[in-house]
Amino acid sequence: MAIALITGASRGIGAATARALAQAGFDLLLVARSGAELGQLAVELRALGRRVETASIDLASSEAIEAPLQELCSLLGAPPAVVINNAGAAYTGGLAAMPVERWQWLLQLNLTSVFQVCRVVVPLLRSGGGGRIINISSHAARNAFPDWGAYCVSKAALASFSRCLAEEERSHGITVSTLTLGAVNTPLWDSETVDSSFDRRAMLDPHRVAEAILYMAQQPNTQAVDDLTLMPAAGVL
């Protein structure tokens, strides 16, 4: 049975995706900062008959990622076939006044941690004959929004990273895709680094986003979705 690795799996899009993939028959490797929430989710998914292993990893700490991730990927006896880089954060505030440490924190979570995850999983995917990497991006990668500049930069860089990695790994049978999203109703909007008055009722539903990720994950080896864009019907939020 195929194995999927999901980062940011404890809540929001990540948890919804874990449930969708488990119901579709995937065994799971789950990563998040909150070990307690991951543990609860793992119990739920194991009740569906799935094998689930978890690791509490703080992706904001570059030194704390690669060794525990390598260990996690060894626990099910086979490499993941699908890797979903979902973990991320946002920060609202003008660029000129943004503290450097916040800039570095955001770039680490939204970009560099994805690079580090890929450093671990790409050799595993190659050894398994190929696989899929799905990076969760945002329409902010293609647009400029006041007070969202750092987030826009991080997601634009992620989109470029994904395209470059796709070209490098194509010959190894690895596809790299982006899922580009408008606003999604997740706990991100409750975080202390985000100040927004958007109508959350008009946002995308995480469960519908999870269905899109499952669709991308289940593509046959003969084709790939380079990028799939989902936007709220109400327009840009």
Please, are residues 231 and 41 in contact by the beta-carbon 8 Å criterion? no
The CA-atom distances, in angstroms, between 129 and each of 28, 29, 209, 217 are: 19, 19, 28, 16
Check 26, 91, 148, 151 and give the catalytic one: 151
DSSP string, 9-43: TTSHHHHHHHHHHHHTT-EEEEEES-HHHHHHHHH
Q: Which fold would CATH assign to domain 3-230?
A: Rossmann fold (3.40.50)
Burial 210-222 (b: 16+ CB within 10 A, else e): bebbbebbeeeee
User: Distance (Å, rounded) from C-alpha 71 to C-alpha 84?
Assistant: 17
Residue 167: CB partners within 8 Å, gap ≥ 6?
none
| Domain spans of the chain, in order of start | 3-230
DSSP string, 103-135: HHHHHIIIIIHHHHHHHHHHHHHHHTT-EEEEE
Active-site residue, 215 included: no
DSSP-based three-state secondary structure for 164: helix
User: Distance (Å, rounded) from C-alpha 176 to C-alpha 31?
Assistant: 19
Per-residue model confidence as pLDDT tens digits over 63-112: 999 999 999 999 999 999 999 999 999 888 999 999 999 999 999 999 99
Q: Is 181 exposed, middle or buried (0-12, 13-18, 19+ CB in 10 A)?
A: buried
| Closest residue by Cα to residue 12 from 187, 211, 139 | 187
Angle between helices 66-73 and 113-127 (to 10 degrees): 30
**pLDDT for residue 184:** 82
Sheet strand arrangement including 174-181? 52-56, 27-32, 3-7, 82-85, 131-138, 174-181, 227-230
**pLDDT for residue 155:** 97
| Closest residue by Cα to residue 15 from 233, 202, 232, 186 | 186
* Residue ranges of the chain with per-residue pLDDT less than 50: none
User: Distance (Å, rounded) from C-alpha 94 to C-alpha 119?
Assistant: 32
Please, are residues 40 and 233 in contact by the beta-carbon 8 Å criterion? no
**pLDDT for residue 167:** 98
User: Distance (Å, rounded) from C-alpha 54 to C-alpha 41?
Assistant: 10
| Closest residue by Cα to residue 7 from 96, 69, 77 | 69
